[in-house]
Amino acid sequence: MDNNYVIITDSCAELPNEYLEKYQIPVLKFSYYIGDDKYISSNDELVLKDFFKSMREKKTVSTSCVNGEEARLVFEEILNEGKDIIYIGFSSAMSATFQVVNYMASEIRDKYPERTIICVDSLSGCLGLGAIVLYACEQRENGISINNLVEFLKTSMPKMNHLFTVDTLYWLYIGGRVKRTALLLAGALDIKPLMRLSEEGVMVPYGKTVGRKRSLAQLAKKIAEKIENPELQTIYIAHGDVLDDVNFLISKIKELITPKDFVITYVDTVVGAHGGPGTLAVFFVGKDRAIL
């Protein structure tokens, strides 16, 4: 069969278990640390609530990318079943994981010359990556070949918009992404950044506002400006343990447009470690990722 292949992603995709089970998606796991204690990334809500609780307590958190040998075991189990593989991974501009997995795949291709192994850099992250993976799975269910799926991804990935904000710049400062002067100024004036993922898969600011509610209202406004055919789209939302803010954002979105549906999850530990509690990210399909 032309579509006898498995779609693999990593835990930054933040996909709920119902989708992982429905489409039988293997997930390569990142690791994270709280202090000196190591944990494996999980999409379990209780685990994630505890993770953000630790961050609110100002405990030291850090992350590490997917282990190449563990990824090899996942790949080889599938290849030994006579199936091909397409891996859709977290943006290479934000993590070394794609390079690690891609290098491992190049090493094992000679061992499985009859199999197709393709690694796709999504230039996406968080639930934006998850949405791309779901679109790919739907295409596979419709019978698309693995090579044609690659072409589909090339045209669809640049249209996946990633817009987000954080409640405080503290964690971006700790991660070296903003300067101390910016942290102090934002704290004094209650400035909230508005950010996006660029066409190159890099986090970049596109605006700022004063106050949390205003930042969410501005997110809703930008979504309404950028989204294409909202009545046909599911909007994906990931949050850092701030469900009340998610509900407020959805109410603001519904004042402007009527999406088909919403999917809501927690931000995973890798993204959460950098954005912190209060991170709120939205993902949807637009004409492109550019902010006008």
Return the closest-CA partner of residue 68 out of 14, 18, 116, 106: 106
Domains in the chain (CATH in brackets) are 5-158 (3.40.50.10170), 159-285 (3.30.1180.10)
In whole angstroms, what is the distance from residue 199 CA to residue 217 CA? 24
Tokens of 89: 């991974």
Q: How far apart are CA 230 and CA 232, in angstroms?
A: 5
What's the CA angle centered on 205, arms 203 and 210, to 5 degrees?
A: 135
List the chain pLDDT tens, one digit each, 292 residues: 467 999 999 999 999 999 999 999 999 999 999 999 999 999 999 999 999 999 999 999 999 999 999 999 999 999 999 999 999 999 999 999 999 999 999 999 999 999 999 999 999 999 999 999 999 999 999 999 999 999 999 999 999 999 999 988 776 767 666 677 776 666 666 789 899 999 999 988 899 999 999 999 999 999 999 999 999 999 999 999 999 999 999 999 999 999 999 999 999 998 899 889 999 999 999 999 987 6
Question: What confidence score (pLDDT) does residue 215 get?
Answer: 95
Give the per-residue pLDDT at 232: 96
Q: Residue 6's pLDDT is what?
A: 98
Residue 226: exposed, middle, or buried by beta-carbon count in 10 A (0-12, 13-18, 19+)?
buried
Buried b (16+ CB within 10 A) or exposed e, 120-157: bbbbbbbbbbbbbbbbbbebbeeebbbeebeeebeeeb
Quick one: CA dihedral 34, 246, 271, 221, positive or negative? negative
Strand-pairing partners, residue 63, are: 32
Residue where the block lists tokens 């953000």? 52
pLDDT at 2: 62
Task: Determine which helix (DSSP H) or strand (DSSP E) holds 46, and give its type and residue range.
Answer: helix 45-56
**How many Cα atoms within 13 Å fall on the side-chain side of residue 43?**
20
Helix axes 126-141, 146-156, angle to 10 degrees: 140
> Residue 178: its pLDDT value, please?
67
pTM, full prediction: 0.93
Contact 166, 205 (CB under 8 A): no
Q: How far apart are CA 173 and CA 166, in angstroms?
A: 12
